[in-house]
Structure 1
Amino acid sequence: MISMSRADSFPRLLADVARSLQAEASSKDTMELAVALAVDVIADAEDAAISLISRSRTVDTPAATSERALKVDQIQYELGQGPCLSAIWDEEVVSCPNLETEHRWGPWAPRTVQETEIRSMISFRMFTQKDRVGALSLYSSHPHAFTGADVDSGISLAAHTAIAVVTARHEEHMEIALDARSLIGQATGIVMDRYDIDAVRAFAVLRRISQETNVKLHDVAAELIRTRSLPS
């Protein structure tokens, strides 16, 4: 794990973080490493979590360093309001210095104080020029835990994490697309051989089955490869 001594400069540390995030194999691994690094790099952060926007525009927490951090986020999702949601949709940085006196977001802060040990947190929007990804949140059991330096560090970490997550997700989508193309190619070959037709007609057969059965084309192809028979 990356750690920062007094002799280390934050720019050098941030470069190490960026390289570590880029080395991860999947978006899930990238996010899990990001929250671990956030706690490791920012001394005042006891926990960290990432809130991620799905394709359906819902938000969940795929990576958190503790159950209590996850609980804080779950209360927000249940109520539909809270600092990480505000960071995603309204402001790029949302600070909650003292949850015991926090009055924004209705019952969120009182419930969080009652149900967890968290007493302060700060959320940073994760975004790129093209994508609004989610939010990176830091948590502490102490009120007024985070400093101005923590805010600057959090903004930088959120930016690097957003870029790494977007890159990892793009690579995953490319791999899925390549796998699907390979499956469809194999299935097309089976249909060509079975019915002695050309590739265009064989592909048309698969597409028609997909449309009539309301099953995705790559799933039709995978089933054909598995069973060696077309749906009746």
Structure 2
Amino acid sequence: MASMARDLLAQESVDATLERITASATELVDGCDAAGILVLHARKVETLAPTDGLVVDNDRLQGELREGPCFDIARRAHGERVFRIADLTGEQRRWPAYAPAAHALGVGSMMGFLLFTDDEDLGALNLYSRKAGAFTEAGELAGWLLASHAAIAFSSARTQAQMEQAVATRHTIGEAMGILMGSHHLSEDQAFGVLRRYSQENNVKLREVARLICEQGGLS
């Protein structure tokens, strides 16, 4: 587990971090056949780093039905941060549409863990077994420890990616301003004003305007 935590923080991108998280779940948690991360965007369900098609199919099912354990924990419907379901066939009262449909997909038992930091909820790490009763208390503890490390690594990787994008955007804007200043004899403030006006008048993000100028050598 300690080696896994160091490995997560060493990944070079958000995608690589997420893929290592879900792969670690199948390696470290007894009974885990597949894993994935479910994220909610408004009313849309997104599946990240699935290790098996079963994960994608199950998340799509929950999104379509608007019910299910992963869906609930990702939106904290009952304030829960962890769930463990020994047998889906016994959960038709809680999820009358989802439980039988998921069982038909091949889901026997499940566990889920909210990925969160002090500042934000990031989604839910969900673990699947094709057998009923596959997950034990020890497996739940291992999953919880993994999820705790995973949330920190996920948040850190995303923050790093956002910082790198911000630096790249600033560089592109600076390069575009330099092109305008040189070709039209503008001051720095005037060049930025041109970028901003074009962005507002054409409803195009500032970084996209800058990218166009860098590629075309100016604005048409």
TM-score range, shorter chain: over 0.9
- How far did residue 131 of structure 1 move? 1.1
Whether 1:165 and 2:151 are equivalent positions in the alignment is: no
Alignment partners' CA distance in 2, 1:74 and 1:31: 19
**One-letter amino acid matched to 2:6:** R
Instruction: Please report how far the alpha carbon of residue 59 of structure 1 lies from its aligned counterpart in structure 2 after TM superposition.
Output: 3.1
- Gapped regions of structure 1 (runs ≥ 5): 1-13
Q: Deviations over 1:131-158 (max 9, x none)?
A: 1001111111111111111111111111
Name the aligned partner's letter for residue 121 of structure 1. M
Question: Residue 57 of structure 2 aligns to which amino acid in structure 1?
Answer: K
Q: Secondary structure at the match of 1:138?
A: strand
Partner residue in 1 for 2:188? 199
Is 1:106 the counterpart of 2:93 in the alignment? Answer: no
Deviation (angstroms), 1:57 = 6.7
Deviation string 1:80-103 (CA, Å, 9 cap, x unpaired) is 111112222231112221111212
Distance 1:32 1:53 in 2: 18
Tell me which residue corresponds to 1:82: 68
Write the letter of the residue equivalent to 1:95.
R
For residue 66 of structure 1, what is the aligned residue in structure 2? 52
Q: Any conservation in 2 of the 1:86–1:94 contact (CA below 8 Å)?
A: no
Aligned mates of 1:39, 1:85 — CA distance in 2: 21
Give the structure 1 partner of residue 37 of structure 2: 50
Question: Could you tell me which amino acid in structure 2 is paired with residue 28 of structure 1?
Answer: D
Q: Does 1:214 align with 2:203?
A: yes
Matched, 1:140 2:126: no
Change (3 A) 1:129 1:223: same
* Identity level (%): 38
Query: Which amino acid in structure 1 is aligned with residue 36 of structure 2?
Result: A
Matched residue SS, 1:142: coil
Name 2:116's counterpart in structure 1. 127
How far does residue 167 in structure 1 lie from its aligned partner after superposition? 0.7
Question: Partner of 1:6 in structure 2?
Answer: none
Unaligned segments of structure 2, at least 5 residues? none
Q: Quick check: 1:22 aligned with 2:9?
A: yes
Structure 1: distance between partners of 2:199 and 2:111: 47
What is the one-letter code of the residue matched to 1:113?
H
One of 76, 79, 82 as aligned partner of 1:93: 82
Give the Cα separation in 2 of the matches to 1:21 and 1:57. Answer: 29
- The C-alpha deviation readout for 1:73-122, integer Å capped at 9, x for no partner, is 211111111111222223111222111121212210101112x2211101
Mapped pair 1:175 → 2:164: yes
Superposed displacement of residue 33, structure 1: 1.0
In 2, Cα distance between equivalents of 1:152 and 1:62: 22
Query: For residues 156 and 52 of structure 1, what CA distance do their matches in structure 2 show?
Result: 20
Query: Structure 1: which amino acid aligns with 2:4?
Result: V
Distance in 1 between residues matched to 2:136 and 2:55, nearest whole Å: 20
- 1:53: how far off? 3.8
> Residue deviations 1:39-68, cap 9 Å, x none?
1011221111111244x5743111111111
